[in-house]
Amino acid sequence: MSCPVAPKLDFGGTTPYEDYVHASVLHSLQKQASDDPREMSFLVITQVMELYFGLLCFEWRQAQIELRDDDLRAAVRTLRRSELHMQALNAAWRPIARMTPAEFNSFRDALGEGSGFQSGRYRELEFLLGEKSRSMLVPHRAVPRQHDALEALLHEPGLYDDVLAALARHGLAVPKEVLDRDVSAPYEPHPEVEAMWAGIYRSDDRDLLELGEALTDVAEEFTRWRHDHLLATRRAMGAKTGTGGSAGVAWLEKRAVRSIFPELWTARSYV
Instruction: Round to whole Å and give the CA distance between 42 and 114.
Output: 13
41 inside domain: yes
pLDDT tens digit sequence for 64-82: 999 999 999 999 999 999 9
DSSP letter string, 142-179 = TSHHHHHHHHHHHTS--HHHHHHHHHHHTT----HHHH
DSSP 113: T
* Residue 59 covered by a domain: yes
For 41-61, write each residue's pLDDT tens digit: 999 999 999 999 999 999 999
Residue 154, Ramachandran bin (φ over 0: left; ψ between -120 and 50: alpha; else beta): alpha
Taking the C-alpha atoms of residue 208 and residue 204, their distance in angstroms, rounded to an integer, is: 9
Distances in Å between the Cα of 52 and the Cα atoms of 33, 78, 240 are 23, 15, 27
Q: Which residues have a Cβ under 8 Å from the Cβ of 49 and sit 6 or more positions away?
A: 89, 92, 116
72: domain CATH number?
Answer: 1.20.58.480
Query: Cα(214)–Cα(222) distance, rounded to whole angstroms?
Result: 12
Q: Confirm whether 265 is domain-assigned.
A: yes
Interaxial angle between packed helices 120-128 and 144-154, expressed in degrees from 0 to 180 and rounded to the nearest 10: 10
Domain that holds residue 185: 37-107+157-270
Is residue 226 a part of any domain in this protein? yes
Determine if residue 243 is labeled as part of a ligand binding site: yes
Whether 141 is in a domain gets the answer no
For residue 253, report the phi and psi dihedrals to the nearest 5 degrees.
-60, -40
Whether residue 209 lies inside any domain: the answer is yes
Cβ atoms of 264 and 216 within 8 Å: the answer is yes
Query: Is 73 contained in some domain?
Result: yes
Note the Cα 112 to chain centre separation in Å: 25
Digit-by-digit pLDDT tens for the chain (271 residues) are 566 777 776 777 788 899 999 999 999 999 998 888 889 999 999 999 999 999 999 999 999 999 999 999 999 999 999 999 999 999 999 888 888 888 888 888 877 777 777 899 999 999 999 999 898 899 899 899 999 999 999 999 999 999 999 999 999 999 999 999 999 998 999 999 999 999 999 999 999 999 999 999 999 999 999 998 888 888 877 766 655 555 567 767 766 667 899 999 999 999 9
The answer to whether residue 115 is domain-embedded is no
How many structural domains does the chain have?
Answer: 1
**Dihedral sign, CA of 133, 93, 264, 56?**
positive
Cα 247 versus chain centre, distance: 22
